[in-house]
Amino acid sequence: MDLSPPVQFDLHRRMVRIRVFEEAAGRLAEANKLPGFLHLYVGEEAVAAGVCAALNDDDHITSTHRGHGHLVAKGGDFNRMMAELMGKSTGMCKGKGGSMHISDLSLGMLGANGIVGAGSPIAVGAAFANKYRGRGQVAVAFFGDGATNIGAFHEAANMACALHLPIVFACENNEYGEFTPRSATMAITDIVDRAAGYGMPGVIIDGMDVVAVHEATLEAVARARAGGGPSLIEAKTYRFYNHHGIQNLGLKYRPDDEVAQWKERDPIFTFEDRMIENGTMTRDRVDEIWAGLRGEIEVAIKFAEDSPLPTPDQILVDVYTSMTGAAQ
Amino acid sequence: MSEVRKLTYGGAFNEAVRQAMEADENIFCAGEDIGAFGGVFGTYLGLQAKFGAHRVVDTPISEQAIVGLGIGAAVTGLRPIVDLMFMDFICVAFDQIVNQAAKLKYMFGGEATMPLTITTGGGAGLSAAAQHSQSLEAILCHIPGLKVVYPSNPYDMKGLMTACIRENNPTIMVKHKRLLGMSAHVPEENYEIPLGKANIMRAGTDVTVIAYGRMANETLVAAEKLAADGIECEVIDPRTLQPLDTDSIVESARKTHKVLVVHEAVKFGGLGAEIASQIHELAFDYLDAPVARIGAPFSPVPFSPALEQHYLPDAASIEAGIRNLVQRS
């Protein structure tokens, strides 16, 4: 591991932030305290953390239906995120978006998305704008293995390459599109095989290894910033919980031993072991970090629970803006 | 002399885009064939030569990605104009238009602004058959978050397109393909026609006819013929279909007591149904007859000119519809 200790601490902290947020959200959902769907990111933390740690604050990301992790990794505020999950007026989206549309434009996070694959064309637009302005910003499109079967992804990948845009396509291949294994929905094993078809470089990395994700992203982002165009990163990863929520609703669609094998490779615990082995981190320090972030989550839950619900007069607010723009 | 300068409907569109792009470097255009070729309808002619390939961008044939390009660029600070060539192609990009562009601002709690203009060629009458002739505006008007604009003449085209570009909401500008060559006076200087304001094209006292796009012009022809028989039509072109200028429509209905709505979209579930409903809700006691509607029959647009000419409403069928309504009082 060539990464400096501060970078390692940063990667670790981003992952633990995601984990404690998602574990708390899962518990609240099981207690029926969160309305709607909840797609948890637990198990995939190394991808969001490794990628977002390679980005600047003014770089853009588009996300997926499993989007909390991306926003947390980009620096999302626990209080306003938890309030959004509860549908409160103090939420990130004032209670209008919820889990599936959580966003923070001030952090360049252009939204989780309820439509599989729909974020990639939007990331292409952000990348176009970044190239147009010439300030060296990049865009990252997060998407799953399942999204690479939908037209929007192909159109986005091709257009990004045709226009030579500063973008990184970050695929979280967790081997399942909802409840159906990848092997049933595509005739290839590796998503990265698709990259050559658009004319961009692609790389497979261990998505449970935050260092590998981070280093691959640094390279892809550097290429994009330098005018080298798009690239694709395929991170092999796994979701520890269900497609939505924690429980599998009694339906078994993944073998127990498969789930157990992936859980043994927990991206956070394995990274902690490595850091402790290298002497970068101590067990006590690890425990302190978890305790500190769990404390922050408890504060966030309290903040969300104490926050007011939106009032019905807010229904028609922000459908349109009355503001106009453009120089004349 | 700017007073007598004439411009086509397509030329007025082009001039609005050019003047806006001269004033604001954040405006760019993207779409299929719009760059070097100038667009299949010629409406983007000369813009790439003037502003460069980075501001007038030729894209792949990828309607989802074209709209996505506009959304992502709009939400990060540019003012995109993206072209979908034929209105039928909106269906290819429907997710990006309906689930993304229309809703981002709302879903993000108001944070996003979406100064996105989508331009497209609508309407039938060119034997372009069922996939290149549709009038799908009612579907778009049904989606909260979108604005839908449909000019009927060159003067309105320039002013409305200018307004679309200045809008911070996603706006769909429908250019009727059969009007592209229509020529009329258009001032050279930049001007804006506010969205949501109807145009009373002809004042009258006997009957109100509401029509937009090419049908507004067909209605004017019918109105002139009826005037010879002493029937005075008030012809209202809403110009913007979403938001709709309900006030102007209802005010006219209360004055004339008889209303006909005309569009070339199919009658079932068309904008005429919404307009008729609103008038019935807001001016029922003033009406001498139910609001009448003229629209296309419930079929795809047929190819053969022999069929298409009977499919589309025209001045003659509108005239007949008005006579029928006037007799009902």
CA distances from A10 to A50, A135, B5 (A): 9, 25, 65
Residue B2 has pLDDT above 60, yes or no: no
- Mean pLDDT taken over chain B: 97
The answer to whether A102 touches A40, Cβ cutoff 8 Å, is no
In A, minimum Cα distance to B60 occurs at A159
What does the alpha-carbon distance between residue A185 and residue A93 come to, in Å, rounded to a whole number? 34
CA B273 to chain centre: 17
The pLDDT, as a whole number, for residue A252 is 81
CB pairs under 8 A between A and B: 175
- The angle subtended at Cα B67 by Cα A106 and Cα A182, nearest 5°, is 85
pLDDT band at B292; cut points 50, 70, 90: very high
- Tokens of residue B131, six digits: 């996939």
Query: Does A220 touch chain B if contact means CB atoms closer than 8 Å?
Result: no
**SS3 assignment, position B171:** strand
- Mutate: best of B18, B59, B76, partner A, most A CBs <10 A: B76
Q: Do A125 and B107 touch (CB under 8 A)?
A: no
Compare CB distances from A92 to B76, B96, B109 and report the shortest one's residue.
B109
- Mean pLDDT taken over chain A: 95
Check residue B30 and report its DSSP letter. Answer: E
Q: A 128-157 residues with CB below 8 A of B?
A: 128-130, 132-133, 139, 151-152, 155-156
- Mutate: best of A64, A96, A120, A128, partner B, most B CBs <10 A: A128
Calculate how close chain B gets to A103, using CA atoms only, in Å: 6
Segment A2-16 mean pLDDT: 96
What does the alpha-carbon distance between residue B55 and residue B46 come to, in Å, rounded to a whole number? 12
Query: Does A61 touch chain B if contact means CB atoms closer than 8 Å?
Result: no
Q: Do A125 and B71 touch (CB under 8 A)?
A: yes
The pLDDT, as a whole number, for residue B170 is 98
In chain B, % of residues over pLDDT 70: 99
Where b means 16+ CB within 10 Å and e means fewer, B134-152 reads bbbbbbbbebebbbbbbbb
Q: Do A326 and B23 touch (CB under 8 A)?
A: yes
- Tokens of residue B86, six digits: 């034929």
Q: A 156-195 residues with CB below 8 A of B?
A: 156, 158-159, 162-163
The pLDDT, as a whole number, for residue B328 is 79
What does the alpha-carbon distance between residue A130 and residue A153 come to, in Å, rounded to a whole number? 20
Query: Does A95 touch chain B if contact means CB atoms closer than 8 Å?
Result: yes
Task: DSSP for B74-92, please give it.
Answer: HHTT-EEEEEEEEGGGGGG
Calculate how close chain A gets to B117, using CA atoms only, in Å: 12
Alpha helix stretches (DSSP H) within chain A = 5-30, 45-52, 68-73, 78-85, 119-133, 151-162, 182-185, 195-198, 210-225, 256-264, 267-278, 283-306
Q: Do A125 and B112 touch (CB under 8 A)?
A: no
Q: Do B65 and A152 touch (CB under 8 A)?
A: yes
CA distances from A104 to A79, A169, A187, A315, B104 (A): 13, 20, 37, 20, 12
Burial class (CB in 10 A: 0-12, 13-18, 19+), B99: middle
The pLDDT, as a whole number, for residue A245 is 78
The answer to whether B204 touches B179, Cβ cutoff 8 Å, is no
Segment A207-236 mean pLDDT: 98
- Tokens of residue A309, six digits: 């619900």
Query: Does A81 touch chain B if contact means CB atoms closer than 8 Å?
Result: no
What does the alpha-carbon distance between residue A209 and residue B301 come to, in Å, rounded to a whole number? 57
Encode pLDDT of B241-284 as tens digits: 999 999 999 999 999 999 999 999 999 999 999 999 999 999 99
Compare CB distances from A159 to B65, B106, B165 and report the shortest one's residue.
B65
The pLDDT, as a whole number, for residue B329 is 61
Residue B130 has pLDDT above 90, yes or no: yes
- Which residue(s) pair with A16 in the sheet? none
Which of these ranges, A178-192, B149-163, B198-212, B224-238, has the smallest mean pLDDT?
Answer: A178-192
Residue B32 has pLDDT above 60, yes or no: yes
What is the helix (H) or strand (E) element at residue B233, kind and residue range?
A: strand B233-237
In A, minimum Cα distance to B95 occurs at A118
Residue B1 has pLDDT above 60, yes or no: no
Q: Do A323 and B168 touch (CB under 8 A)?
A: yes
Residue B30 has pLDDT above 80, yes or no: yes
Nearest CA-CA partner of B78 in A128, A227, A104: A128
- Mutate: best of B51, B55, B107, partner A, most A CBs <10 A: B107
Check residue A324 and report its DSSP letter. Answer: B
Query: Does A99 touch chain B if contact means CB atoms closer than 8 Å?
Result: no
Q: Do B72 and A62 touch (CB under 8 A)?
A: yes
Query: Does B230 touch chain A if contact means CB atoms closer than 8 Å?
Result: no
Q: How many CB atoms lie within 10 A of CB B59?
A: 23
Q: How many CB atoms lie within 10 A of CB B272?
A: 25
Compare CB distances from A60 to B65, B70, B76 and report the shortest one's residue.
B76
CATH entry, A5-314, from 3.40.50.970, 3.40.50.720, 3.40.50.2000, 3.10.20.30: 3.40.50.970
The pLDDT, as a whole number, for residue A207 is 98
The pLDDT, as a whole number, for residue A126 is 98
The pLDDT, as a whole number, for residue B203 is 98
The pLDDT, as a whole number, for residue A287 is 98
Encode pLDDT of B302-319 as tens digits: 999 999 999 999 999 999
User: Where do the structural domains in chain A lie, given as residue ranges?
Assistant: 5-314
Calculate how close chain B gets to A231, using CA atoms only, in Å: 17
**Chain A contacts of B111, Cβ < 8 Å?**
93, 103-106
- Mutate: best of B55, B63, B108, B114, partner A, most A CBs <10 A: B108
**Chain B contacts of A130, Cβ < 8 Å?**
76
* Catalytic positions of B, written as ranges: 132
Nearest CA-CA partner of B72 in A115, A162, A176, A128: A128
The answer to whether B42 touches B10, Cβ cutoff 8 Å, is yes
How many CA atoms lie within 13 Å of B11's alpha carbon, on the beta-carbon side? 12
Calculate how close chain A gets to B76, using CA atoms only, in Å: 6
Segment A179-204 mean pLDDT: 96
The pLDDT, as a whole number, for residue A244 is 80
Check residue A104 and report its DSSP letter. Answer: B
Query: What torsion, rounded to 10 degrees, do the Cα atoms A115, A116, A118, A123 define?
Result: 130
Residue B3 has pLDDT above 70, yes or no: no
Q: Domains (ranges, CATH) in chain B?
A: 2-185 (3.40.50.970), 199-326 (3.40.50.920)
In chain B, % of residues over pLDDT 90: 98
CA A290 to chain centre: 20
What does the alpha-carbon distance between residue A136 and residue A224 come to, in Å, rounded to a whole number? 9
Query: Does B72 touch chain A if contact means CB atoms closer than 8 Å?
Result: yes
- Residue bearing tokens 């992804």: A153
Nearest CA-CA partner of B58 in A163, A139, A228, A200: A163
What does the alpha-carbon distance between residue B249 and residue B262 come to, in Å, rounded to a whole number? 13
- Residue bearing tokens 């028609």: A316
Answer yes or no: is the ipTM higher than 0.85. Answer: yes
**Chain A contacts of B31, Cβ < 8 Å?**
none
